[in-house]
């Protein structure tokens, strides 16, 4: 078997790699693909924040509903349910809100004290009242930069709920609306029965 020496020399002198044209073309294609990928990620970024905000809004509402539900149905509920034969007269609907002498959240002693319409009309109304929306930190803790709910607003509406016709004092419906920083509003509700 004979080898052609000129053929071996030709193969060894040939350079391997990409030409300048191939390199520039590859960079251009890669940049086009990366531009599309980055544009897609930029569009998805705000949507990834929404679920976190929704969870935080649900946590805030649950926290407030728990706090409010632990209060008495009515300040007249002592040993007996108000409105019953043995109990005192229940607070009328037009008197829902903080009672006389209740000047802060720590003084609230029944569920209708938390009605934000009445709170915003009270003499001690929070500085953050805006169309009956109150900054959530007024209900949770100090309004500072460490507050997890700093930019959330809350509106609470308390109204009577009749389980049967004419039983106006059987329950109060507590409705909480949470306004998120992105502008969406989530609404929650719970019933508080008339028992001491």
All structural domains of the chain with their residue ranges: 50-193
Cross-strand pairs, 158: 174
Give pLDDT, residue 167: 65
Instruction: Please tell me the least confidently modeled range out of 17-21, 118-122, 173-177, 178-182.
Output: 17-21
Confidence grade of residue 64 (pLDDT, cut at 50, 70, 90): very high
Burial 83-105 (b: 16+ CB within 10 A, else e): beeebbebbeeeebbbbeebeeb
The percentage of residues in the chain with a pLDDT greater than 70, rounded to a whole number, is 82
The pTM of the whole model exceeds 0.85: no
40-54, 95-109, 131-145: least confident range:
40-54
> 40: phi > 0 → left, psi -120 to 50 → alpha, else beta; which?
alpha
pLDDT digits (tens, 9 = 90+) for 108-147: 989 999 999 999 988 877 878 888 999 888 887 666 777 7
Calculate the CA 9 to chain-centre distance.
75
């Amino acid at each position: 078997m004979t080898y052609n020496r000129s053929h071996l020399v030709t193969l060894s002198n040939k350079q391997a790699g990409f030409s300048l044209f191939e390199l520039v073309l590859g960079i251009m294609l890669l940049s086009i693909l990366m531009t599309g990928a980055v544009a897609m990620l930029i569009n998805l970024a705000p949507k990834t924040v929404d679920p976190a905000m929704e969870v935080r809004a649900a946590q805030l509402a649950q926290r407030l509903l728990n706090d409010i539900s632990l209060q008495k149905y009515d300040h007249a509920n002592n040993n007996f349910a108000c409105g019953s034969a043995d109990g005192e007269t229940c607070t009328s609907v037009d008197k829902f809100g903080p009672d006389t002498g209740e000047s802060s959240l720590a003084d609230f002693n029944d569920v209708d004290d938390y009605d934000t319409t009445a709170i915003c009309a009270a003499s001690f109304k929070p500085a953050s009242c805006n169309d009956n929306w109150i900054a959530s930190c007024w209900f949770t803790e100090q309004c500072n930069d460490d507050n997890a709910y700093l930019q959330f607003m809350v509106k609470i509406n308390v109204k009577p709920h009749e389980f049967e016709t004419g039983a106006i004092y059987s329950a109060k419906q507590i409705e909480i609306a949470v306004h998120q920083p992105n502008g969406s509003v989530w609404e929650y509700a719970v019933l508080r029965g008339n028992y001491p």
